[in-house]
Amino acid sequence: MIDANNITKAALRIQETANEVSLLLGRPVSLHFRFEDGQQITEELIERTVSGVTGIRSEDILGDSRNVEVTIARYICWKLMNKYMKSTYVDIGRHYGGRNHSTVISGLRKLEDEIATDRNVRKAFEDCESLLVTRIS
């Protein structure tokens, strides 16, 4: 029997290899995966998923708002992009309006702190991740 977790892990290993090839070539190499009976993992799918769970519009997540709810939703997108697409901090920053990679690192650290201390943020992240995994499997 095929285990969906093993397939996902294999796909992530392929993306890690593509990231290494990017470094060797000196230019981005992007892979998008389409799972049978599932959706392709893209920035847009992640943004739609987070938007649906948090109620924050995708346009706001992509924008410059410093509203706490919007920034948390944005950080959740960043974490999911890094985890499931293996997007680099530079790639994430570029997608989000040309933000610096250090801004992405700082945002991810803030999200980790919030997940550790705020059960509502933790639940929002878990709900987003769960829904994303459901959509791709």
Give the residue, 31 or 119, on which the prediction is more confident.
119
Query: In the prediction, which pLDDT does 35 show?
Result: 47
The 10 Å Cβ neighbour count of residue 132 is 22
The strand pairing partners of 40, in sequence order, are 34
For the chain, the structural domain boundaries read 42-136
Task: Name which CATH class applies to 42-136.
Answer: mainly alpha
Q: What's the mean per-residue pLDDT of the chain?
A: 85
Q: In the structure encoding, which two tokens stand for residue 104, read together?
A: 């992405």
Task: Evaluate if residue 2 carries a pLDDT over 90.
Answer: no
CA distance 89 to 134: 25
pLDDT tens digits for range 55-111: 999 999 999 999 999 999 999 999 999 999 999 999 999 999 999 999 999 999 999
Task: Evaluate if residue 8 carries a pLDDT over 80.
Answer: no
CA distance 74 to 49: 12
Task: Evaluate if residue 34 carries a pLDDT over 90.
Answer: no
Task: Evaluate if residue 20 carries a pLDDT over 50.
Answer: yes
Mean pLDDT of 38-67: 91
Picking from 54, 106, 52, the residue whose alpha carbon sits closest to that of residue 78 is 106
What Rg do the C-alpha atoms of the chain give, in angstroms?
Answer: 15
